[in-house]
Structure 1
Amino acid sequence: MADLFDTSPGPDPGAAARTTRAAPLADRLRPATLSQVIGQGRVLERDGPLGAMLSSGSLSSLILWGPPGVGKTTIARLLAAETDLHFVQISAIFSGVPELRKVFEAARLRRQQGGGTLLFVDEIHRFNRAQQDSFLPHMEDGTILLVGATTENPSFELNAALLSRAQVIVLKRLELADLELLAQRAERELGRPLPLDGPARDALLEMADGDGRAALNLIEQVVAWKVDGRLSKAQLSQRLMRRAAVYDKSGDEHFNLISALHKSVRGSDPDAALYWLARMLEGGEDPRYIARRVTRMAIEDIGLADPAAQRHCLDAWALYERLGSPEGELALAQAVIYLALAPKSNAGYSAYKAARAEARRTGSLMPPAHILNAPTKLMKEQGYGAGYDYDHDAEDGFSGQNYFPDGMKRPVLYTPVERGFERELKRRLDWFVSQRARRGG
């Protein structure tokens, strides 16, 4: 199979222009073969998952997962053409059970006549569980070859039965190099170059945000302008609004970006942390959600290495509540910077998880009798409180007694690191351990 990053013109541009001059540019440049699809060579080349299926003649049902404008619909159409299957397209937004029944019945009749059907379902994640289940028998008996398209994570949006019968193919957003190839094809189709200088051209492609369809729509807008010479980046910005970044506050992007922010803070990279914070805020994320997650970062990844980190987060949270947006967002940004530069320790977090594990393992063991209160005569007779050493009476304020259940091997749960304030806590802990060992506690 040819290289997907193919700069050949593809379909005859002149013929497309003569027959569909009024059609949108994105439609006129729709690839006629899989080798003309830009940006998805990883899956379409001969050794890729789709290329290998086609080479072996074993195409199976698929879920195409990727952001908008990366070729999901085009690839589905071309797969049908490559395998000589009748192409049927429906959208889960506008279709329900009655429409599905009609599609399945038509596919069944076509199969009886010796033909096959590739059913392309756009936005397949919009179907509920019962609607998704309705595909299963028709996939299993070969009535349809299902190709679903989704921008959402199939693991969360599609049921297990459907996923077990379809291979998930991940399509990537287009890189700037891919968009440049697309722009060159557009210029050949239009018969003239874009009226932009180099920086303006780069800015136009960046505005598309990895979406090929959006890039072609922007190019079509620019070409329609009546301008002399070439526009600069500043002039382009005056005429064209930047396309809003894709951000789903309840979907994958929401979790991907908060994960990126968290890991940038953990990795002590304030610049990256600020970038992901800005991406979330620009996308419309609720700053209160960010404040809560940032406070969690202080507890989980900094802990007692810098006890002030939690206070900074709580103060930033309170400042946002008082100031609102956009002023309060600066307080969140400063908290993120502080966390990124703070000494890191997950010792407290790890110790708590280890303590939970010990609690589950040991069940309902009683505390040792000497540390139990004895408010009644019977309890005193049972030995409650007997032999308890009051630590404040010890010369150094430490008795060294055992506080774990009798017979339980003493675990080591908290292991402070040699960073920040935990360095001091480690020094104290080491002293207590040495004294406990000396006193046999």
Structure 2
Amino acid sequence: MADLFDSTPQPAPSRPDASAAAPRPLADRLRPRALTEVIGQAHVLGPEAPLGAMLASGALSSLVFWGPPGVGKTTIARLLADATDLHFVQISAIFTGVPELRKVFEAAKMRRGQGRGTLLFVDEIHRFNKAQQDSFLPHMEDGTILLVGATTENPSFELNAALLSRAQVLVLERLDLADLERLAQRAEQELRRSLPLDGSARDALLEMADGDGRALLNLIEQVAAWKLDKPLGREALTTRLTRRATKYDKSGDEHYNLISALHKSVRGSDPDAAIYWLARMLTGGEDPRYLARRILRMAIEDIGLADPQAQTLCQHAWETYERLGSPEGELALGQAVIYLALAPKSNAGYVAYKAAMAEAKKSGSEPPPKHIRNAPTKLMKEQGYGAGYAYDHDQEDAFSGQNYFPETMKRGVYYLPVDRGFERDLKKRVDFFANLRAKKGG
């Protein structure tokens, strides 16, 4: 992502503690001192972007930063306070309770009485419960605080509607490889030496950070401490360093985003994308049994009767996983995903089911026509139950064309097979019986 600001770092000598003996962590020493030094997030910070426009107009509102770790949420909040001459207060929802919040609000009121505003930065704001979130509202409304919250979770699900209505949500994105390379160059200036890596190893180092700037600086600090005679290659680097664990929350947004990507890749007949998203979920620690259930659902929902074999294959893949376990059984799930992606697609059965369910709820308790009701007793026969029923096997083409819907209900058409896969044959059968029904006046 290109940065709209000039992000040229300051010369190393101008920074305090720039010597090799500096005790502070590299991430702290390289913390931007102005918004113009922030790497990435141009879609938020640029002159025409939300924050850039707010600062230009002098009308900064309460904000919620939503994004992954290590993309600058805390840093940007601190720099916003500097840019607007607000007193900066930082708390974490993990360690702050109601008594501490009261103290923060009282101090902000005193500060306001002295003519100074307060920017209150709340890290992990989604961890506050509803009552705690509500406690911010009056202080936001009367201007006691300008709230800037930070969260890695979807605010739509984790924050109160009342709080969201008073704050603008800004999405911060993971740093791309170009951003990370610029950050690495800035670190080398601070360290006053190049990293002892060849080009391939340097690429691997950036990939290991997985879009997290803070993680990259921590990795660089480790590499810079090594005493080496020659630059390391990719293989040597990956032997020395453990790749950063992939961000994956099995109960959060990432879980739903990735299963959605898998399902839509299958529906879109892209086996390569489908197997990739399956691999992403498995490497993230997803339960293969959950994936087996979802894969079977895909067979039913998106392939349906266009390939009836797909459902059976997915069931067998699930059974194979149960018998073999990991990692061998996961291969069966992968093969099932590839098969589904390449299978002919039809949601006609799924659509028919939903339409029939909607009609069933609408029609209520309408009884079947008398001629197809069961008549096990004399009384029921006297009431006309079963009278006039035509046994289809005794009819020409084994088809009577009788009405099977409630007598007060117009005949519904719910199943509309597509002209793909096995449903092409089913469509011929549907049309065949429809024509016979029309001839018989059914």
TM range (shorter): over 0.9
Q: How much has 1:272 moved relative to structure 2?
A: 0.8
Q: What is the match of residue 291 of structure 2?
A: 290
Q: Which amino acid aligns with 1:35?
A: T
SS of the residue 1:147 aligns to: strand
Which 4+ stretches in 1 moved above 6 angstroms? none
SS of the residue 1:169 aligns to: strand
Q: How much has 1:11 moved relative to structure 2?
A: 7.1
- Give 1:1-400 correspondences, 5 Å limit: 3-4=3-4, 6-10=6-10, 13-18=13-18, 21-400=22-401
1: CA distance, partners of 2:236 / 2:347: 50
Q: How much has 1:14 moved relative to structure 2?
A: 3.6
Q: What is the match of residue 430 of structure 2?
A: 429
2: CA distance, partners of 1:265 / 1:332: 13
Contact 1:7–1:185 at 8 Å: present in 2 too? no
2: CA distance, partners of 1:357 / 1:13: 72
Q: Which amino acid aligns with 2:382?
A: E
Contact 1:43–1:49 at 8 Å: present in 2 too? yes
Alignment of 1:438 with 2:439, yes or no, is yes
Q: How much has 1:320 moved relative to structure 2?
A: 1.0
Q: Once superposed, what is the RMSD of the aligned Cα atoms?
A: 1.5
Q: How much has 1:308 moved relative to structure 2?
A: 1.0
Contact 2:18–2:190 at 8 Å: present in 1 too? no
Q: Which amino acid aligns with 1:56?
A: S
Q: Which amino acid aligns with 2:63?
A: L
Which is worse superposed, 372-381 or 83-92? 372-381
Q: How much has 1:405 moved relative to structure 2?
A: 1.2
Contact 1:173–1:211 at 8 Å: present in 2 too? yes
With over 3 angstroms needed to count, the CA separation of the structure-2 counterparts of 1:258 and 1:40, relative to structure 1, is same
Q: How much has 1:321 moved relative to structure 2?
A: 1.1
Q: How much has 1:3 moved relative to structure 2?
A: 4.7
Q: So what's the TM-score if we normalise by structure 2?
A: 0.97
SS of the residue 1:16 aligns to: coil
2: CA distance, partners of 1:432 / 1:49: 61
2: CA distance, partners of 1:209 / 1:118: 30
Q: How much has 1:369 moved relative to structure 2?
A: 1.4
- Per-residue Cα deviation, 1:125-167 (whole angstroms, up to 9, x for no partner): 1111111111111111111111000000011111111111111
Give the gaps of 5 or more residues in structure 1.
none
Q: How much has 1:4 moved relative to structure 2?
A: 4.0
Q: How much has 1:38 moved relative to structure 2?
A: 1.1
Q: How much has 1:258 moved relative to structure 2?
A: 0.6
Q: So what's the TM-score if we normalise by structure 1?
A: 0.97
- Per-residue Cα deviation, 1:206-227 (whole angstroms, up to 9, x for no partner): 0000000001111111111111
Aligned residue pair count: 440
Contact 1:4–1:36 at 8 Å: present in 2 too? no
Contact 1:4–1:37 at 8 Å: present in 2 too? no
Q: Which amino acid aligns with 2:299?
A: A
Q: What is the match of residue 407 of structure 1?
A: 408
1: CA distance, partners of 2:188 / 2:117: 38
Q: Which amino acid aligns with 1:219?
A: I
